[in-house]
Chains A and B, each alone.
Chain A
Amino acid sequence: MSATDAKTFFDYLNGGLASATIKANGYEYALDALERVGWLTSATLVAVTAGLITVSFPSGAVRLLRVLYDNRELSRENRATLRDLGGPRWQDVKGEPIAFVEDDFTDRTFQLYPRATRVSTALSYPNNEPFGRDYPIGAIVTLTSDRTDPPIWFDVPCALIMMTYARSLESANQDLELAAACEKLAQLLTGIIDRA
C-alpha cells in the first residue's frame, strides 16, 4: 500500500527522528501538495431529488473539474451569466440542468441551473456496473480532483515533501537547508512524472 511505503521511505530518509504526530501532519501536508497537482481524479454518482439545486462535493473531493447530468456535460458558469439567463430569481427556475456554478458562500458545494425537476432512478447496481449497464437515469456525475493516498509512483516525492515539512518545523531537528533541498528534489521528481 502506497501510504505505508511513502511513510516507510520517510523514516528511511529521516532516520526515525520524527514523532508520530509530525509524521501524520507531514503526510497530510504532502497530500495537499499532491492534490494541487490535480492528478488524482475520480467520478462519483449523485442522486437527484425533485427541485434539487445545491449539491455537495463527494467525500475526499477538493476541486470540481466537471459535472455531468444524465446525457450531457454541464457548462460552468458564473452568477452574472445565470442572472442573464434566468433573471434575478434564476435559482427558482426549474427544468433540465444545463449549467452549474460553484457556490461562493458555502464551501464544497455547487448549484445547478435550472433546478432539476426529474428524480433520478435509484443508485442500485444489480450488475455491479454503476457506470455501465446500471448507470442511473437522471443522476449527476461529478468529476473531481481528490485528496487521497498517493499512487506508488509518488512515494518518493511524498516522502520528500514530508521531510520538507518535518525539517522546517521549529524544533531541535530543524534544518532549513535540508528542507529546501528536499523540496527541490521533490519538484525534480514530480517534473519527471509530469513529463513521462
Chain B
Amino acid sequence: MAKNVADLIDELQLRLRDTSALALTDTIAMRFLSYGVGYAALAFADTLRTFTLTTVRQQCLYNIHNDVSGGAAIVRVVRVAVDGRDLSYTEFGVPGGLPVNWPRVSGDAYESFSMLGKRLLLLYPAVNRASTATLWCRAVPALYTNTVTDTTTEIADDLIPLALTIAETLLLVRERRVDRLREQFQLIQRYLQVPQRVEATRSQRALR
C-alpha cells in the first residue's frame, strides 16, 4: 500500500533521531524528502509526463525550458507527436541523420525530432503552419518543486526506499556525519543497479 508524504516525514525523523544534532522540523524534512522523491522518480524512470509545445510557422529550433509551459522540469524528451503523428528520433551529426541544409528545409509535416543538450529541441523539417506538439518527457514530479504542500500525497512503493535513502543522505550531509555517508552511498548504488524497479512495459520500451 502506498505511503503518503506525512508517513515518510515521520520515517525520516525516526531515522535521524539518534544522530540529529540540529533541529529537524517537518518543513525541512519535507524539503529534503521532495528532492529524494524527485531523483528516485528520475532514477526509476517512473512516469512520463506530457507537455504541450505550440509550434511556430517555419521554426524548427525550440528552447524547451522557455517555450514549453512548465518546461523547466523537463530532463529529457522521450517522444514527440504532432497532430497525432509520432516523430522519429534523429541524432545530430551522424550519417543518415539530418542533412547539412536542415536549417531551411521545409515540408508539409514534421518527420523527426532531435535534442541538442537538454534544452534545445529540433523539429525537422520546418512546417509552414502552427500546430501543437505533445512531448512525453522524463521530468521531475511536482512534489520536487516543493509547491505541493499536501502531505497526504501518496508516493509509489517502488520509489520509497531510494527516495528515503537520498533524503536521509542529504540530511546526514547537513549533520556532517561523514562516517554514515559511506554506507549511504553503497545503499544508493545498490538501489540504482539492482533491478528492483518494475520492468518496463512494452509501451515504455517502445517509447525509448
A positions within 8 Å CB-CB of B: 2, 9, 12-13, 15, 38-43, 65-66, 68, 70-73, 75, 129, 131-133, 135, 141, 143, 145, 151-153, 155-156, 160, 163, 175, 177-178, 181-182, 184-185, 188-189, 191-193, 195-196
With both chains docked as a complex, state the minimum distance between the C-beta of B39 and any C-beta of chain A, in angstroms.
5
| Pair A43/B61 contact, Cβ less than 8 Å | yes
Encoded as 1 (CB less than 8 Å from any A CB) or 0, chain B from 125 to 145 comes to 000000000000011100011
Name 5 extra pairs, CB < 8 A, besides A71-B103, A152-B72.
A43-B63, A135-B58, A135-B59, A151-B118, A156-B35
B87 lies within 8 A of chain A by Cβ: no
A71: chain B residues within 8 A (beta carbon): 101, 103-104
| Pair B42/A192 contact, Cβ less than 8 Å | yes
| Pair B170/A13 contact, Cβ less than 8 Å | yes
Known contacts A15-B174, A153-B73: A196-B58 contact under CB 8 Å: no
With both chains docked as a complex, state the minimum distance between the C-beta of A139 and any C-beta of chain B, in angstroms.
10
| Pair A193/B75 contact, Cβ less than 8 Å | yes
**Considering the chains assembled together, what is the distance between the CA atoms of A39 and B61 in angstroms?**
16
| Most B Cβ at <10 Å: residue of A13, A39, A156, A196 | A196
| Pair B75/A184 contact, Cβ less than 8 Å | no
Encoded as 1 (CB less than 8 Å from any A CB) or 0, chain B from 111 to 134 comes to 000001111100000000000000
Q: Which of B156-208 contact A (CB under 8 A)?
A: 166, 169-170, 173-174, 176, 178, 181-182, 185, 188-189, 192
| Pair B65/A12 contact, Cβ less than 8 Å | no
Residue of A nearest to B192 (CB): A192
| Pair B102/A73 contact, Cβ less than 8 Å | yes
**Considering the chains assembled together, what is the distance between the CA atoms of A172 and B98 in angstroms?**
55
Encoded as 1 (CB less than 8 Å from any A CB) or 0, chain B from 70 to 107 comes to 00110110000000000000001100001011111000
| Pair B28/A12 contact, Cβ less than 8 Å | yes
Sample of 13 A–B contacts (CB below 8 Å): A2-B72, A12-B32, A43-B61, A72-B104, A141-B103, A152-B145, A155-B35, A156-B39, A178-B176, A188-B185, A188-B189, A189-B166, A196-B42
Q: Which of B12-42 contact A (CB under 8 A)?
A: 22, 28, 31-32, 35, 38-39, 42
Residue of B nearest to A160 (CB): B173
| Pair B174/A12 contact, Cβ less than 8 Å | yes
With both chains docked as a complex, state the minimum distance between the C-beta of B169 and any C-beta of chain A, in angstroms.
6
| Pair A66/B92 contact, Cβ less than 8 Å | yes
| Pair A175/B119 contact, Cβ less than 8 Å | no
**Interface size grouping (class) on chain B:** 35 or more
Known contacts A2-B72, A42-B119, A175-B176: A153-B58 contact under CB 8 Å: no
**Considering the chains assembled together, what is the distance between the CA atoms of A184 and B169 in angstroms?**
12
**Considering the chains assembled together, what is the distance between the CA atoms of A12 and B59 in angstroms?**
43
A12: chain B residues within 8 A (beta carbon): 28, 31-32, 174
| Pair B117/A40 contact, Cβ less than 8 Å | yes
| Pair B75/A196 contact, Cβ less than 8 Å | yes
**Considering the chains assembled together, what is the distance between the CA atoms of A188 and B42 in angstroms?**
12
| Pair B178/A177 contact, Cβ less than 8 Å | yes
| Pair A188/B140 contact, Cβ less than 8 Å | no
| Pair B119/A72 contact, Cβ less than 8 Å | no
With both chains docked as a complex, state the minimum distance between the C-beta of B183 and any C-beta of chain A, in angstroms.
12
With both chains docked as a complex, state the minimum distance between the C-beta of A172 and any C-beta of chain B, in angstroms.
14
| Pair B120/A70 contact, Cβ less than 8 Å | no
**Considering the chains assembled together, what is the distance between the CA atoms of A9 and B58 in angstroms?**
42
B42: chain A residues within 8 A (beta carbon): 153, 192-193, 196
| Pair A129/B56 contact, Cβ less than 8 Å | yes
Residue of A nearest to B92 (CB): A66
**Considering the chains assembled together, what is the distance between the CA atoms of A196 and B192 in angstroms?**
12
